[in-house]
Amino acid sequence: MPHPERLYTLGPEGTFSDQAARRLREQLGAPALPIVYTRTMPEVQARTDADGSAWGVFPIENSDAGTVIPAQDGLVKYRLTILWELSLRVRFSLLARGEPSAAQTLHVHPVAFDQCNEYVSAHLPQARVAFTHSNGESARIFLDAPADEPLAAIVTLETGEAQPRYLVRADIQNFAHNTTRFLVVRRRREPEAFDFARHKTSVYVEPAEDRPGLLHGLLSIFNAHALNLCRLESRPDKVTPWKYVFFIDFNNNPGSEQCVEELRRTGHRITVLGSYDALE
């Protein structure tokens, strides 16, 4: 596997994105590969697009909360090609000063909040929710605040274990087997070559027109080649109100390349976002 010169991911150190980037380094056999942390998801994608020597690592889908919308939209906004995917168990802990019922403010990343909202509703209904840029920032704000400030924070399991003084409860996520799928990307090349012998392909479909039977026609092409769709999602196209585009993931078979060629002959704009395997 080729090595980039650096990895961009959402920081600070200790986030789930950081864990995913570190796992990628292990798979590459490059423990000294620099990890560059950003404050936002779009920054990961923008800097990867601008830096042909780098790869980006970011979450794309969670088994509870679903698609990470800014990450998915960024696959189209920026010139990115998917190289790999990897999955990471996602477990959260609650830090608090005193009883959770006394906390006046809860610092939490929006995605973490979505994945822990059942616990929050049951145990911190009184707390004002203050959203942060990352789980690491939630921990930093909590730990840097005055000792008498009635705060709580949702942090990663590892961060919670490192703060036993404040740890209220571990594994507060809604579902025990909460898992996030991450993508590894690089800047798109022109022309881009794809290896459809790999496990999965992702495509982006911009319909040429809105008409009855549009989706049925697209899906019939996948069916004709016995391709299993593992994800299908419609999104606003961001240009014309109430016009939609499609993100489609499918498991490859020997008919994948011909299927993509037939999709292109429909007149719709088809962009292959990547053909890739999963890392352990």
DSSP track, 1-45: ----SEEEEE-STTSHHHHHHHHHHHHHT-TT--EEEESSHHHHH
Report d(CA 194, CA 144) in Å as an integer.
48
Q: What is the mean pLDDT of residues 232-246?
A: 91
Please provide the average confidence, as pLDDT, over all residues in the chain. Answer: 94
Residue 180 confidence (pLDDT) above 80? yes
Residue 65 confidence (pLDDT) above 90? no
Choosing among 3.40.50.2000, 3.40.190.10, 3.40.1160.10, 3.60.70.12, the CATH entry for 92-170 is 3.40.190.10
Give the pLDDT band (50/70/90) at residue 18. very high
Interval 77-100: pLDDT, tens: 999 999 999 999 999 999 999 899
| pLDDT at residue 13, rounded to an integer | 86
How much of the chain exceeds pLDDT 70, in percent?
100
Q: Are 80 and 17 a contacting pair, CB within 8 Å? A: no
- Tell which residue, 7, 131, 92, has the closest CA to residue 58: 7
Give the pLDDT band (50/70/90) at residue 1. low
First to last CA, the chain: 14
| pLDDT at residue 3, rounded to an integer | 86
Residue 147 confidence (pLDDT) above 80? yes
Q: What is the mean pLDDT of residues 193-210?
A: 94
| pLDDT at residue 279, rounded to an integer | 93
| Domain limits, CATH 3.40.190.10, in the chain | 1-90+178-189, 92-170
Q: Are 92 and 156 a contacting pair, CB within 8 Å? A: yes
According to CATH, the superfamily of the domain at 1-90+178-189 is Periplasmic binding protein-like II (3.40.190.10)
Domain spanning 200-280, CATH architecture: 2-Layer Sandwich (3.30)
Q: What is the mean pLDDT of residues 28-54?
A: 94
Give the pLDDT band (50/70/90) at residue 166. very high
| Domain limits, CATH 3.30.70.260, in the chain | 200-280
Give the pLDDT band (50/70/90) at residue 210. confident
**Global model pTM greater than 0.85:** yes
